[in-house]
Structure 1
């Protein structure tokens, strides 16, 4: 069975939603869905979680930066692609899995805050990349939280 990236990501978010519908908190639902689905998803979720932990750690350099979301998203891209880039517009050649990790990062960073859905969507809109795809993912998860 050959599943393309878009179908794999759709399966991932469907499982997250199902887990949340069954009473699981969104973070647990994300982690459980990634592990049970397998493929490249667990690695991307792990990268997003690690970057989230770095940005919220008060002693990290990243947490001290003014525009730490943009730097977090950019630094994840550097790790994935092994190149430095400055995205201008959504890049159709960027793997969907990277956008998934960017979405998970924003969900984790803003999800626990009051009005987290709107804060995550605002942060998403103010950063480069595939804003529409990330917004859809953020709504799917935090809209249920």
Structure 2
């Protein structure tokens, strides 16, 4: 057995072990009773799955998966806080200008970054620098901001209760 075959065997076994851990984390996240625990399991799942991709030389997909998992965790946590709170804030009388401006700025970032997400490169060539990774990070951050602004009962873009 050559050195290259040994490295391939070790990386394959490491990836298989990490995928087993990822499967156990996924089952634990599905059976968790608390949203915070499920969110932590999902963040760990994203980290372990990206480590498994790194073991098989998938650096760009691994980083994208890790950024996506880390980007969605605040959304899940704040969504859980919103759902578990028993008090409802009184609606303010003024227009929510700050929230509307933040959502417009986020939409502008999404429109700016979207063309870069669809670009393809040659099969053997990796992109020079990190513009594609930064585009993915900005896209996930913008989606999280839009989701946190939300249309819920407390969201600035939603309707008040009883309003037609």
User: TM (normalized to structure 2)?
Assistant: 0.27
Structure having greater relative contact order (Cα 8 Å, sep ≥ 6): 1
